[in-house]
Amino acid sequence: MQLLKTDDATPQLPSLDPAVDPFQLFAGWLREAEDAEVNDANAMALATVGPDGLPDVRMVLLKGFDRDGFVFYTNSESRKGGQLAGNMQAAGALHWKSLRRQVRFRGPVEFATEAEADAYFASRARDSRIGAWASRQSRTLADRSLLEAAVARETDRFDGREVPRPPRWKGYRVRPLYLEFWVDRPFRLHHRLVYRRDGVRDDWQTELLQP
């Protein structure tokens, strides 16, 4: 990947080369962010739209990415899950404060395969897997003790057994049609490199945007 070094005080600028795969560029930035950030370099704001047309946003962890898109996992019966069921489109943004960089993307969403979701779920701590059974994510909770009781119930239920993935716990893959790399520059003259395409199987077009 071609990076143009400017000076020591400012971040490196990615070159405008459509031949550079944006996911490869993203991989490099994420690696640098993992070294630079105190925690959760893979945290991203995920925006969905409700049936009333009102946007909604919350953080999720980016758990995988490749040329097919960006993958996160959640409870499909949560608020975001319901919003996605009605409108399988989303946008994401990652901001790395230490690097002064932002990546944002938007596009249609598909479910990750059951095998992918099973594999990721199996990699989680046992207590997190139990928590996924105990929590009806985004429903009201009259009292915290009810959640603790649900955790105790599920802990007993799975005693001595593997904790399988709850069917409602799913992976989602955002397949970007728009992907933007933003680099902080002096005097707000930031650098914005955009990759866009009309369909998820089309080639990328690149352009720069004014800050």
- The three-state secondary structure class of 126 is helix
By the 10 Å C-beta count (0-12 exposed, 13-18 middle, 19+ buried), 66 is classed as exposed
Nearer to ligand FMN, 59 or 149 (CB): 59
Q: What does DSSP assign to residue 137?
A: T
- The three-state secondary structure class of 62 is coil
Rg from Cα positions in the chain: 20
- Tokens representing 111 are 């479910």
Q: x-or-dash pattern for ligand FMN, window 61-90, by CB under 6 A?
A: x----------xxxx--xxx----------
**Catalytic residue (one of 188, 192, 196, 197):** 188
Nearer to ligand FMN, 174 or 193 (CB): 174
Q: What does DSSP assign to residue 38?
A: S
Could you give the residue ranges of the DSSP H alpha helices within the chain? Answer: 22-36, 79-86, 114-123, 126-134, 144-157
- 30-49: contacts with ligand FMN (CB under 6 A): 40, 43
Please count the residues of this chain forming the interface with ligand FMN, following the rule CB under 6 A: 16
Among 58, 95, 124, 168, binds ligand FMN (CB under 6 A): 58
Residues ≥6 apart with Cβ < 8 Å to 138: 75, 77, 78, 79, 80, 81, 82
Smallest gap from Cβ 180 to ligand FMN, in A, equals 21
Nearer to ligand FMN, 78 or 102 (CB): 78
Nearer to ligand FMN, 16 or 49 (CB): 49
**Angle at the Cα of 44 from the Cα atoms of 103 and 131, rounded to 5 degrees:** 165
- Tokens representing 59 are 């953080």
Smallest gap from Cβ 102 to ligand FMN, in A, equals 16
Smallest gap from Cβ 45 to ligand FMN, in A, equals 9
Residue 185 is a catalytic residue: no
Tell me: does residue 197 bind ligand FMN (CB under 6 A): no
- 127-146: contacts with ligand FMN (CB under 6 A): 137-138
> Pairing relation of β-strands 43-49 and 89-96?
antiparallel
Nearer to ligand FMN, 173 or 191 (CB): 173
Residues known to be catalytic: 188
Q: Which residues bind ligand FMN (CB under 6 A)?
A: 40, 43, 56, 58-61, 72-75, 78-80, 137-138
